[in-house]
Structure 1
Amino acid sequence: MFYLKTWLGICFLASTICVHAQEKATVDIGGALRFNYNYSSWKEAQKKRGGDLGFDVFRLNAKAKYKGLKLNAEYRFYSEDFGGAMLKQGWIAYDFTKNDELQFGLTQVPFGITTYNSNSWFFSLNYYVGLEDDHDMGIKYTHQGENWDYSFAFFKNAEELRFGSNSDVSNSRYSYDVGSIDLNGDGNLNIRNKEVNQLNGNLSYKIDRANAQHHLGISAQYGGLFNLDTEETGNRYALAAYYELKAGKFGIKAQVANYKYNPENIDGERDDVVAMTAYGAPYLVAAEASIYTLGVSYSIPLEWGPISSVVIYNDFGYMDKAESNFESSMMNVTGALFTAGNIYTYFDLAAGKNQPWLGSEWTNALASGAPDADWEMRFNINIGYYF
């Protein structure tokens, strides 16, 4: 009897320990510190001094998990000129099963190839019009199956930092959203719209072969566009079809996307453009366009000091605007990502035509553009330590 009681006591104690071990919350804190060097063909004084090297971003990441409940947050600190401090993402979630999850908060919009429709530090043209790595406020359900993946989401609005009745969208944000812009420098904002009540659906099919994994998908997005001056709501939509291939060390990302904005602006304001903003500064974007992107990559293992691998890639994007008198925008990035322990370094040669981040024209590059625009080049090195 003594041995039986002892054995039962040990079993009870062991089961109690296991239960508590399963109930124990886990918290992971990480982040990154990144620096950036760039040499730009359109900046004459910068070329004379051999380019510029400076601070890019310091970020903090927090992840937590407890009984199927999860938290994921990333806060970034940029210089004041690039928007200052901002929340890139921040959501809480519940895992119903290992394949089904519900997220709430500032979460990534399920549109097109995710997490990124690109390989380079610059992302693709989709990012600059709010269709790549976009994060909005709402609720999202995701399912990851053996062959089928799908996501459904409702976003009340983009990141809202000002809660007034007539408050314009803040320029301090990571991903591009519809906002407002001062067109003539008089201090008054124009084309004042906000994204509201957005629905998203994303469906993809996976084909897993011995030598290759294929991923085919379609995405749809529909929402409102609330004008702060007329207090009327227009509408907007975006559609995409995409394909991903991973065959050993080789990869392909291909996508076709189309979008259209129908704002209810005040009389006299243009409706062939919308204002979009991120990183502290807005610009104009064509209200309707199709974007074609293609990225290829090849991974090479290395044993070169601390360097363990390099990924070489080329990302190309073409933006065909619906307005016949608008000039197309193009972007191509050829580069390599070197991995050395916790240090990741991007070497990119980025070329752009009517691309605001790759040329002297900022406000109208993604809208009307310039018929005589030249290809501009930017050599960029981004070095980051991730912890």
Structure 2
Amino acid sequence: MKKSYLQAALSTALMAVIYPSYAGVSFGNSDGEYGKLTVSGYVRANYQDKHYGESASDQKIRFDAAQLKLDYEHGPLFGHAEYRCYQYDRLCDFSTLVDGYIGYKLNKTDQVVAGVQPIPFGPGRFWGNSLYGSMSTTAGLEDVHNLGLNYHFELPTATKFDVGYFAVDGGNYTGSTQDSGRYTANYVSSDDPNKTDLQEKNMWVGRVTQDINLGINGLTTQLGGSYWTSDIENKTASSDGRRHAWALFGKANYGNLNVTLTGGKNDVTNQDQLNPNQSLMGSYDSEYYVANKGTFYTADVGYSFKNVKQIGNITPYFMYSHYDKDQDSMKDSIRNIIGVSIDHKQLSLVAEYIMSKNDPFIGGTQDSLAQGDDNQWNKLLNLTLFYYF
């Protein structure tokens, strides 16, 4: 059996047509006997200039991260895996799985996907153009990847549905913390034994989107909504709380202009007698508290200038994001980003100026996204250079 697998692998490698491109290197053919495997990824460098009320700038260019992606196609069967390695103090001191799933295309529009994948909450995986992400990303509402099963289907009326069940989160990987070495912001167990340990499970997430034809040439619009309900296991108290969250969104594209608006509500009970109004979350090897009840808003607008002389594509954009906490004693968290991305062949430069307050990742503390901090604006210039392979 092992010999036949080895022969198949060697045959695929020897007979493959290799396509070097911006999208990676491909072996084989999706309609062939062994399918098509594409290997791609990037390495990236970063420079930051921080203004957090005191001198805190990195003031140097450093290696930031590397990504490896594998994509497989064989008739209606497909698969995808993505792993990332980050450097804080040393190479790959934090690394994590982002996605790992297999899927089956039922027809041209409908499919079933199983594994660690983006959940169908909000307008899509990303709610805007920003590389750094919105406040909803840090709050664990945007760009969430969990382990489960999702069914996507479409109607002739240009109505799209997603129904997903996610048993648990995407897990933790390599890092200095006990449970926060992960890509997605999830509820976690703390390094501190005095803090409550939480885990989200039994997540049901649904989304419906409708394309709207306004009869204007070049304009595409879409409206939709999504709902998320789950159990929040309190391992310390041996009891379960609940999450109920919803989001409404609208997207419009007119030529090279794109606008995305998202708003919704997050409502969590954690069965924690000591901290009933906030819960511990973790991502990117950091842990922090998030207010259990709040309203979130994200507005994003961008314009893409295509094939600008010898440069390539240039896309300036602006994003506003706000987590409005229900508790009067808690200070709201806001993150605004002005940015531009420049794409030239296999290189991309993303420049973002971030203005934020009560933000655990921009000059804040573990309590910034819950109780808040000094309520002052912190600023970050974040430059990231990508080389894609």
Rounded to whole Å, the distance in 2 between the matches of 1:173 and 1:32 is 19
- Does the 8 Å contact 2:245/2:264 carry over to 1? yes
Rounded to whole Å, the distance in 2 between the matches of 1:145 and 1:362 is 46
**Identity between Structure 1 and Structure 2 (%):** 24
Q: Which residue does the alignment assign to 1:148?
A: 159
1:113 Cα deviation from its structure 2 partner: 1.4
Rounded to whole Å, the distance in 2 between the matches of 1:84 and 1:21 is 38
* Aligned counterparts, 1:4-153, within 5 A: 21-42=31-52, 44-47=54-57, 51-79=59-87, 84-145=94-155, 147-153=158-164
Rounded to whole Å, the distance in 1 between the matches of 2:164 and 2:178 is 22
Question: Which secondary structure does the structure 1 equivalent of 2:275 belong to?
Answer: coil
Per-residue CA deviation, residues 74-122 of structure 1 (Å, 9 max, x unaligned), is 0111125686121001101111111111111101010001131011111
1:126 Cα deviation from its structure 2 partner: 1.1
TM-score by length of 1: 0.87
Pairing 1:327–2:331 present: yes
Give the counterpart letter for 1:256 in structure 2.
Answer: G
* Aligned counterparts, 1:237-252, within 5 A: 237-252=244-259
Pairing 1:369–2:372 present: yes
Greater alpha carbon shift after TM alignment, 285-294 vs 75-84:
75-84
Rounded to whole Å, the distance in 2 between the matches of 1:341 and 1:192 is 46
Q: Which residue does the alignment assign to 2:186?
A: 177
RMSD: 2.1
> Cα distance 1:43–1:181, how it changes in 2: closer, same or farther (>3 A)?
farther
1:188 Cα deviation from its structure 2 partner: 1.8
1:124 Cα deviation from its structure 2 partner: 1.2
* Aligned counterparts, 1:278-317, within 5 A: 278-305=283-310, 307-317=311-321
Give the counterpart letter for 1:93 in structure 2.
Answer: G
- Does the 8 Å contact 1:27/1:62 carry over to 2? yes
Rounded to whole Å, the distance in 2 between the matches of 1:246 and 1:26 is 33
Q: Which residue does the alignment assign to 2:280?
A: 275
Question: Which secondary structure does the structure 1 equivalent of 2:61 belong to?
Answer: strand
Larger Rg: 1
Question: Which secondary structure does the structure 2 equivalent of 1:126 belong to?
Answer: helix
TM-score by length of 2: 0.86
- Does the 8 Å contact 2:268/2:292 carry over to 1? yes
1:43 Cα deviation from its structure 2 partner: 6.8
Give the counterpart letter for 1:62 in structure 2.
Answer: L
- Does the 8 Å contact 1:72/1:90 carry over to 2? yes
1:160 Cα deviation from its structure 2 partner: 3.0
Question: Which secondary structure does the structure 2 equivalent of 1:52 belong to?
Answer: coil
Question: Which secondary structure does the structure 2 equivalent of 1:374 belong to?
Answer: coil
Rounded to whole Å, the distance in 2 between the matches of 1:140 and 1:24 is 25
Give the counterpart letter for 2:190 in structure 1.
Answer: I
Q: Which residue does the alignment assign to 2:359?
A: 355
Q: Which runs of 4+ in 1 moved over 3 A?
A: 19-24, 43-47, 80-83
- Does the 8 Å contact 1:295/1:314 carry over to 2? yes
**Higher helix proportion:** 1
Greater alpha carbon shift after TM alignment, 137-146 vs 70-79:
137-146
* Structure 1: tracts of 5 or more residues without a match: 1-18, 163-167
- Does the 8 Å contact 1:83/1:278 carry over to 2? no
Question: Which secondary structure does the structure 2 equivalent of 1:362 belong to?
Answer: coil
Q: Which residue does the alignment assign to 2:25?
A: none
> Cα distance 1:21–1:139, how it changes in 2: closer, same or farther (>3 A)?
closer
Rounded to whole Å, the distance in 2 between the matches of 1:335 and 1:35 is 17
Pairing 1:159–2:163 present: no
> Cα distance 1:323–1:97, how it changes in 2: closer, same or farther (>3 A)?
same
Give the counterpart letter for 2:120 in structure 1.
Answer: P
1:66 Cα deviation from its structure 2 partner: 1.5
Q: Which residue does the alignment assign to 2:13?
A: none
Number of aligned residues: 353
Rounded to whole Å, the distance in 2 between the matches of 1:232 and 1:190 is 15
Give the counterpart letter for 1:151 in structure 2.
Answer: D
